[in-house]
Amino acid sequence: MTTERKRNLLLGVFIMSLVLANTLGAKITQFPLPDWLAWPFNVIFSPVIFIFNYLLSVTGNQSLSYAFFNTVSVSVGILTVPLMFLVIDIVHEVWGKKMAKEFIYVGIVSMLFMIAITAISVWVPPAARFADQNAAFTTFFGTSIRFAIASILAFYISQMQDIFVFHYLKEKTKGRWYWLRKNISTYLGEFVDSTIFMFVAFYDPAKFPAPVVIKMILPYYIFKILFATIDLPLSYFGVWWVKKSDKALES
């Protein structure tokens, strides 16, 4: 497989992850974890919950439970968000900042097309044999303009921030410590992504004041950094796979 084909494959994975993050996000899953698995995660992520609780305490609101992982409750769309950051980090490491930004621009155009086509699909009248299913179709795919704007803003700003931090750390470390650059840029980028999306999509002084939005951010951010940490071996493998000589792969 040539280097160009590898890049195209990564671009395909990136766009697929972006589309799925927006289409699957409507489903919320909830299930309990056994104590032996929930306890270590609760301990590891207690500093993150502490920071969120501090923010809530400033506004005089109720704190969040430190037993976060006892019962998992999160959107299934979150599964693909760390994958987007993973692809961008691999592309940035191998091809540089310019190519990583090109991936982002392609992603933005893809999102705009997806939103436009989805809106048209919801707007056109259903056939008679589909009339009884149209309400469910409209509910599932009928994304509001506010949600669409929130999604695009969060995606663009967080990905650009991820590229900036990754590039800055790469220069400072002289190309070393990929694991550090990858994790720090991703953790910050995913926090920006979650925060911008939740505030733009939901913030309302009457119905969704800032403390409520902060509580909504926490579960998504925790799972994003969890998945981003777990996929570190995949990131190293991806960089190795792309850099591996074409001749070796074709032999």
The secondary element (H helix, E strand) that includes residue 30 is strand 28-32
CA distance 163 to 96: 9
- When pLDDT is averaged across residues 177-203 and rounded to a whole number, the result is 88
- Ranges assigned E (strand) in 114-180: none
- When pLDDT is averaged across residues 135-163 and rounded to a whole number, the result is 81
In the chain, % of residues over pLDDT 70: 93
Identity of the highest mean pLDDT range in 74-78, 104-108, 120-124, 228-232 = 104-108
What tens digit of pLDDT does each residue of 206-251 get? 887 887 788 778 878 888 888 888 888 998 999 999 888 654 444 3
More confident site: 105 or 150: 105
SS3 71: strand
Predicted local confidence at residue 13, as pLDDT = 92
CA distance 224 to 221: 5
Name residues whose C-beta falls within 8 Å of residue 84's C-beta, 6 or more positions apart in sequence: 14, 17, 18, 21, 107, 159
The structure's pTM equals 0.81
Angle, nearest 10°, between helix axes 145-172 and 97-123? 170
Q: Are 223 and 200 in contact (CB under 8 A)?
A: no
CB atoms within 10 A of CB 210: 14
Q: Which two tokens stand for residue 189?
A: 């980028």
CA distance 134 to 59: 43
Name residues whose C-beta falls within 8 Å of residue 112's C-beta, 6 or more positions apart in sequence: 152
Q: Which two tokens stand for residue 45?
A: 């992520």
Identity of the highest mean pLDDT range in 50-59, 81-90, 137-146, 241-250 = 81-90
